[in-house]
């Protein structure tokens, strides 16, 4: 159609101008390698995509500001960034708590889905994800932390062990307990009480 032909190009190359200003080389590498993990970690903990973006922005702003104080002997860049993320999430949730509910509602989580073939299954899975996220918000902080490292940031047990500075076995035990409590929490919640 005519409209398509006249539409301006939408290729990635048209957006590269925004990269003209440069980040410090090493920070650039961190950003490329770990932004996604940070975002997913944050997204697992907060209610909306918009909030996840804002908190992720805060994380990297803080990281950039403190970049010169980073000590590679104490923590890997990812661990360092995820610790900043944990604090940023805590600040965010605290500010929300002052104002109201932490619950997510179904229409606010369209970006969290599982790979399912049909629309119907997708809706069912979204509802299920909503219940899981709501359930996780009722857990103790340590449980939330380990769940978001595992299922948000996508760390494996040894990476979580390094992040939390505990043994692999301790990670397995904590994860097991956290999952058990999450399951109990989800089962205890009436399905219709999760929509707020």
Partner 1 sequence: MMKDSNAHERGRLPEDLRALDAELSSIRYEERPSFGPELRAELARALAEGEIARPGPVRRYLAAAVVAALLVGGAAVPSARASLVRLMGMGDAPAEVEATPPAEAPAPEASAPEPEPSGPIAAPAAPTFDAPAPIAEPATVVTEPVIVAPRMLDRLQAEELLQSVYPLHLQRRGVGGTVWVTMWVDEFGAPGSASVARTSGSSELDRAAVRAVPRLRFEPATQNGRRTGTWIEFPVLFEPDPERVERTLAPVIDPLSLPTIVESEWWQLRDPLDLEGLPPVAEIGAADDRARAEATEGLRRAVADPAAVDRWGPPEAILGGEAPNDMPPTEWRAAVGAAFDDAIERGTETPVSLLALGRVRIRQGLRAEARSLFERGLQIAIRDPAEASDWVVAELHYERGSLVRDRWRASDGIGRVRSEAFGDATCAPASSSGRAASGFASVERLIAWNYLCPGEMEGIFRGGFDASSSGSAGDLTLMMASLRAALEAYPGHVGANTDLLVTLAERERWSDVLAGSLRFARQSAGHPDALLLAGIALHRLGRSEEAAEHFDAALARMDEMDADELLDISYLLDGAEIARYQRAAPPERRTVEDAFWPTRDRVPATAVNERRVEHLARTAYAKLRFGTVFGDAAEVWVRFGRPNNVHIVDEGTGRLTEFWNYGSGPDITFVRWVSTKRTDLTPEGRAYVDDLGKIFPPQ
Contact residues for partner 1 (CB under 8 A)?
1-4, 6-10, 14-15, 17-24, 31, 35-36, 39-40, 43, 49-50, 53-54, 56-58, 60-62, 64-65, 95, 99, 107, 110-115, 119, 128-129, 132, 147, 150-152, 154, 156-157, 172, 176, 179-180, 182-183
Exposure of 35 by Cβ count < 10 A (0-12 exposed, 13-18 middle, 19+ buried)?
A: middle
Please report how close the Cβ of residue 129 comes to partner 1 at its closest, in angstroms.
6
Please report how close the Cβ of residue 184 comes to partner 1 at its closest, in angstroms.
11
Query: CA 15, 152, 186 angle in degrees (round to 5)?
Result: 135
Q: How many residues does the chain have?
A: 196
The structure tokens listed for 10 are: 């939408």
Please report how close the Cβ of residue 75 comes to partner 1 at its closest, in angstroms.
21
Instruction: Considering the complex, state which of residue 73 and residue 166 has its C-beta at the smaller distance from partner 1.
Output: 166
Instruction: Considering the complex, state which of residue 140 and residue 176 has its C-beta at the smaller distance from partner 1.
Output: 176
Instruction: Considering the complex, state which of residue 11 and residue 73 has its C-beta at the smaller distance from partner 1.
Output: 11
Instruction: Considering the complex, state which of residue 37 and residue 86 has its C-beta at the smaller distance from partner 1.
Output: 37
Q: Is-contact 55 47, C-beta < 8 A? A: no
Please report how close the Cβ of residue 79 comes to partner 1 at its closest, in angstroms.
17
The structure tokens listed for 61 are: 């702003």
Strand, coil or helix: what is 38? helix
**Any residues with CB less than 8 A from the CB of 101 and at least 6 apart, and which?**
196
């Amino acid at each position: 159609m005519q409209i398509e032909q006249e539409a301006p190009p939408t290729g990635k190359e048209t957006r590269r101008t925004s990269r003209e200003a440069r980040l410090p080389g090493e920070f650039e590498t961190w950003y490329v390698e770990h932004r996604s993990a940070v975002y997913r970690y944050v997204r697992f903990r907060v209610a909306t995509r918009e909030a996840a973006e804002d908190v992720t922005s805060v994380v990297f702003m803080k990281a950039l500001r403190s970049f010169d104080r980073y000590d590679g002997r104490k923590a890997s860049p990812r661990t360092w960034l995820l610790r900043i993320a944990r604090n940023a999430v805590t600040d965010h949730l605290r500010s929300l708590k002052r104002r109201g509910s932490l619950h997510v509602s179904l229409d606010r989580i369209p970006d969290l889905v599982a790979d399912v073939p049909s629309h119907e299954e997708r809706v069912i899975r979204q509802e299920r994800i909503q219940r899981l996220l709501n359930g996780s918000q009722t857990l103790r902080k340590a449980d939330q932390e380990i769940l978001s490292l595992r299922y948000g940031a996508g760390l494996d047990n040894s990476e979580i062990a390094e992040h939390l500075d505990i043994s692999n076995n301790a990670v397995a035990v904590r994860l097991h307990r956290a999952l058990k409590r999450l399951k109990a929490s989800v089962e205890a919640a009436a399905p219709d009480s999760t929509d707020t």
